[in-house]
Chain A
């Protein structure tokens, strides 16, 4: 019985906040759900908040890297926010680089980062989502 992590949508950004110690099945489930949600919503960015996460091992690390690659293919950026210092030090020691995953200190900075590069790519900034009702 693995729990499902809720995926929230704020305008054009999908927000996932991991609050509990997830088992491997829940991690894979989240990966699938998120890929589906990016496709369904047409979101241009994904923010994964790991402020509450006490450890990131290679399995979770792989999931994060996979989500980043998947969403890039689907034209959405991914930002990982709120990594704790102890987690960062452990990841470096473990040898995980999370290649390609962008990071920000806080949720606020992460959202701004997505907004900035969305604007850079020639789209308008985060506007009220008119098309989403379809």
Chain B
């Protein structure tokens, strides 16, 4: 009963349209598990940042979405995976204002603040996976 999860959906993110699709899919899931409006907005925004990272820095990848149910509360878990160059200095990448490209340097650090759980798994040369979770209240 605890930790039971439903079917997962996998979305390819290879174009900017993929980023829009990711937002729309996450919105549907967030509504399904009745996140508050503010929590929905935070989750969709975080997903948008991470989907764009996957596309721009990872050269494209996937978003795997999962609805969670545990101890009577529901949540959404999203995993963004790419096979790009990876991140050499994780601490630096999670610092506000640090940017490797053209962004504002808030993608990773900012989206971490928007969710309840944030796991960054990266191997230089082999790719990056960022997994985030947001729980309903």
Contacts and interface: CB of A to CB of B under 8 A. Distances in A.
B41 A94 contact: no
B34 interface: no
Interface string A10-41: 00000000000111110000000000000000
Contacts of B104: 58, 61-62, 96
Mostly, the B contact residues are: helix
B66 interface: no
A89 B38 contact: yes
Interface stretch (B4-12, B19-27, B78-86): B19-27
8 tightest A-B CB contacts, nearest first: A86-B41, A94-B110, A23-B16, A57-B48, A24-B16, A86-B38, A58-B106, A58-B104
21 contacts: A21-B20, A23-B17, A23-B20, A54-B27, A55-B41, A55-B45, A57-B45, A57-B49, A58-B49, A58-B103, A59-B103, A62-B103, A84-B41, A86-B40, A89-B41, A90-B114, A93-B114, A94-B45, A94-B110, A95-B96, A95-B106
